[in-house]
Structure 1
Amino acid sequence: MSDQEKELGVLRQQIDSIDKQIHELLNQRASCAQQVAEVKLKYQGASDVVFYRPEREAQVLRRVMERNEGPLPDKDVARLFREVMSVCLALEKPMRVAFLGPAGTFTQQAALKHFGLSAESVPLNSVSDVFREVQSGNAHYGVVPIENSSEGIVNHTLDLFKRYDVTICGEVELPVHQHLLLKQDGDRKEVKRVVAHHQSLAQCRAWLDTHLPDAERVAVSSNGEAARMLVGSDGTIAAIAGDMAAELYELDIAERNIEDQPDNRTRFLIVGNQVVESSGVDKTSILVSSKNKPGALYQLLEPFYRNQISLTRVETRSMNSGCMFYIDFEGHSSDTDVEKVLNELAVVSEELKLLGSYPSAVL
């Protein structure tokens, strides 16, 4: 046996020993999770028990990153713990999470990033279907897109928050890399149509203008649907979608990262039916409406300035009698300063709807 083989043999024995300890600790953690479920059922009852606590998971992931000493990067370690928590939560109660389908969309990718691989992700035909399933209780949670760094707010999602009574329980930020997909052994020179969600077509406009200027651009319900359309097609169709769709439908990636902005990101919201307690680093989202009159927006925003609360998003939607504003800001509705602002807004606005307070995105 060579010296190298001897040294590697010692290290491999150490790895085997460490793996055994990790395995034992994982099972201990899983056993604790089962006991947590039993305690919750004992004191809350089967009908009222809440197994998933977004604020608790956010706190755990933040502590993981804070205490990490390497060599693994902070977020890589947090993602490992995310999957451990997902598996343990499934022992308590598997989560049914609705998203805009079909399979392979960026929304499904966001759902898996937030809930882990042990959650049951359920594809639906539209964002409104996601809201409806969550409000009815047929799905524990839903994942919906709210804004993109290059294309802005998703107005349809905003309108649905007005129509449905659901609560925002969390947020997910996802780097979005768009790829040009073809059938296996397809030829880009043969492409006559490019299909994708309208947001993706807009995000790749400059690349398409340069490389496929004569191809018709067709908007479909989702990038997953676009990828699915290539299966069984005649080879004259290309789709824009991500890695997950390419792998799922066994398509060739003809060109990677064709988005016009390399730092393109999409923010998704987690909707559910529970009030989330403070995690220590939170956001709050509201819908507030006002009549069209001079100084209306100032009257709504001035309390935030006076109470030193930072706004992270303000979006305006016109209505027949005035304007509706979607506002994201830092803090939790239980915070004293935030509570003051909400009370003031309830007085000066036509309508105020608290959409939810939730942990700021960790991963």
Structure 2
Amino acid sequence: MSELDDYRKEIDSIDKELIALFERRMDVAVKVGEYKKKNKLPIFNGKREEEVIEKNIKNLNNSSYGDIGRSFFENLMELSRSLQANIIQENNNIQNNLIEERSDFVIGYQGVKGSFSEEALLKHFKTCDNTKNYDEFVDVFEALKNNKIQYAILPIENSYTGAITEVYDLLVKYGFYIVGEECIKIDQHLIGIKGTDINSIQEIYSHPQGFEQSKKFLSRYQDIMLIPYHNTAISAKLISDLKDTKKVAIASKRAAQIYGLDILQENINDKKDNHTKFIIIGKELKYNNECNKISVVFSLEDKAGTLYNLLRYFAENNINMIKIESRPNKHESWKYLLYVDFEGSIENMEVKNALNLIEKNSGYFKIIGSYKASL
């Protein structure tokens, strides 16, 4: 037998002792979890865990193993928390409430009739007759806060230009929840009053997203002034009111029809497969059995490995992440909030496990939505 075989035999013997000790430790962790459940205690006790790790690191005879010894105990603690989370089955106080369908609900949106937000609203709610429109995104959030509306629909992401970051920031600021999702195709058109000559245009009005989505077309008209406005449909209404053939808007075909405008150039958006995703928000977190998508937000500490350590909980629990969006933390310089969308149900044990671990290992954590994904 070679010297290497002797070493391997010794490792096998140590592993046999380790697995027996591991099993004993997990058995005790289960008892601790049952005690915490009975006495409504939190899973994570950072001070206690740090004390345990430091005490055991001091017991090392070879201090050069200090860093890997710390990693060993951190992973061991994490496994214990995971086991206890399964016992306690914490679910962030979410109740199994069905999303009501009532005709007296008032739905808010940003823009005016003919806006893409209104189009998404009509597609999602179909029979809703009670709607209120507002000039700015923050106005919609204020209306929901003050109970002037029960739900609101807002754009969150365009397939070409990316996230609408203001909406992400307002979600956290106001503490509201995503209760639904809708996706519509976006076609931008250059529209103006009857008699407008495309070669005589001096000003184009639209939402910044309208300009961003139509860069290639607009590059042909370098001398025309681009004037950002509240919303594409509000821009169309303005052009209708001004009755000036030198001023036009970028908006939808429906907006042109509503405000009696001619389409001067169809489909000017760069990407023909152009879609915008909208979220429906409310003041409570609700779900039903059809919900298959979850959105969460949590903080990232400014130290190496934080992002990896938190995101790996999704992979380890076989969860498919759909989108990750990072935003600056408004309360702490150089720190960030991470928004993650992923497939799953609040009731799924693997989802619960992953969320419990992220919650226990991040400074700030919140589930901001459980809803049915749009097709």
Decide: shared fold, TM above 0.5: yes
Structure 2 CA distance for aligned equivalents of residues 129 and 118 of structure 1 = 20
Counterpart in the other structure of 1:100: 110
Matched, 1:163 2:173: yes
TM-score by structure 2 length?
A: 0.70
Structure 1 CA distance for aligned equivalents of residues 127 and 334 of structure 2 = 46
Structure 1 CA distance for aligned equivalents of residues 105 and 98 of structure 2 = 12
Residues 291 and 370 of structure 2 are in contact (CA less than 8 Å); yes or no, is this contact kept in structure 1?
no
Provide Cα deviations, 1:144-169, integer angstroms capped at 9, x if missing partner. 11000110011100110111121111
- The structure 1 residue matched to 2:324, chosen from 314, 317, 326, is 314
Residues 98 and 288 of structure 2 are in contact (CA less than 8 Å); yes or no, is this contact kept in structure 1?
no
Q: Which runs of 4+ in 1 moved over 4 A?
A: none
Counterpart in the other structure of 1:172: 182
- The structure 2 residue matched to 1:304, chosen from 311, 314, 325, is 314
Counterpart in the other structure of 1:275: 285
Equivalent residue letter for 2:225: E
Counterpart in the other structure of 2:52: none
- The structure 2 residue matched to 1:333, chosen from 346, 350, 368, is 346
Where do 1:127-142 residues align within 5 Å?
127-142=137-152
How far 1:225 moved relative to its partner? 1.4
- Paired residue secondary structure (1:118): coil
Matched, 1:348 2:357: no
Structure 2 CA distance for aligned equivalents of residues 322 and 186 of structure 1 = 50
How far 1:121 moved relative to its partner? 2.1
Query: 5+ unaligned residues in a row in structure 2: which ranges?
Result: 1-96
How far 1:275 moved relative to its partner? 3.1
How far 1:341 moved relative to its partner? 1.1
Counterpart in the other structure of 1:223: 232
Where do 1:176-215 residues align within 5 Å?
176-210=186-220, 212-215=221-224
How far 1:291 moved relative to its partner? 1.4
- The structure 2 residue matched to 1:110, chosen from 115, 120, 134, is 120
- The structure 1 residue matched to 2:296, chosen from 286, 293, 310, is 286
Structure 1 CA distance for aligned equivalents of residues 129 and 110 of structure 2 = 16
How far 1:123 moved relative to its partner? 0.7
Structure 1 CA distance for aligned equivalents of residues 171 and 197 of structure 2 = 43
Residues 103 and 128 of structure 2 are in contact (CA less than 8 Å); yes or no, is this contact kept in structure 1?
no
Residues 290 and 323 of structure 1 are in contact (CA less than 8 Å); yes or no, is this contact kept in structure 2?
yes
Provide Cα deviations, 1:310-339, integer angstroms capped at 9, x if missing partner. 111101112315111011011122221111
Structure 1 CA distance for aligned equivalents of residues 142 and 175 of structure 2 = 9
How far 1:114 moved relative to its partner? 0.4
How far 1:304 moved relative to its partner? 0.2
How far 1:133 moved relative to its partner? 1.6
Whose Rg is larger? 2
How far 1:103 moved relative to its partner? 2.1
Equivalent residue letter for 2:210: S
Structure 1 CA distance for aligned equivalents of residues 223 and 294 of structure 2 = 45
Q: 277-286 or 252-261: which moved more?
A: 277-286
Change (3 A) 1:336 1:278: farther
Residues 278 and 332 of structure 1 are in contact (CA less than 8 Å); yes or no, is this contact kept in structure 2?
no
Residues 298 and 364 of structure 2 are in contact (CA less than 8 Å); yes or no, is this contact kept in structure 1?
yes
Change (3 A) 1:53 1:278: closer
Structure 2 CA distance for aligned equivalents of residues 223 and 257 of structure 1 = 14
How far 1:53 moved relative to its partner? 4.8
Structure 2 CA distance for aligned equivalents of residues 278 and 310 of structure 1 = 20
Residues 185 and 275 of structure 2 are in contact (CA less than 8 Å); yes or no, is this contact kept in structure 1?
yes
RMSD of aligned Cα (Å): 1.7
Structure 1 CA distance for aligned equivalents of residues 118 and 370 of structure 2 = 23
Structure 2 CA distance for aligned equivalents of residues 332 and 134 of structure 1 = 26
Identical pairs, percent: 29
Structure 1 CA distance for aligned equivalents of residues 260 and 322 of structure 2 = 39
- Paired residue secondary structure (2:219): helix
How far 1:112 moved relative to its partner? 0.7
How far 1:278 moved relative to its partner? 3.3
Structure 2 CA distance for aligned equivalents of residues 281 and 326 of structure 1 = 18
Residues 278 and 334 of structure 1 are in contact (CA less than 8 Å); yes or no, is this contact kept in structure 2?
no
- Paired residue secondary structure (1:102): coil
How far 1:281 moved relative to its partner? 5.0
Equivalent residue letter for 1:360: A
Provide Cα deviations, 1:266-289, integer angstroms capped at 9, x if missing partner. 000000123332334511111111
Counterpart in the other structure of 2:268: 258
Query: 5+ unaligned residues in a row in structure 1: which ranges?
Result: 1-51, 57-88
Q: 174-183 or 353-362: which moved more?
A: 353-362
Equivalent residue letter for 1:284: I
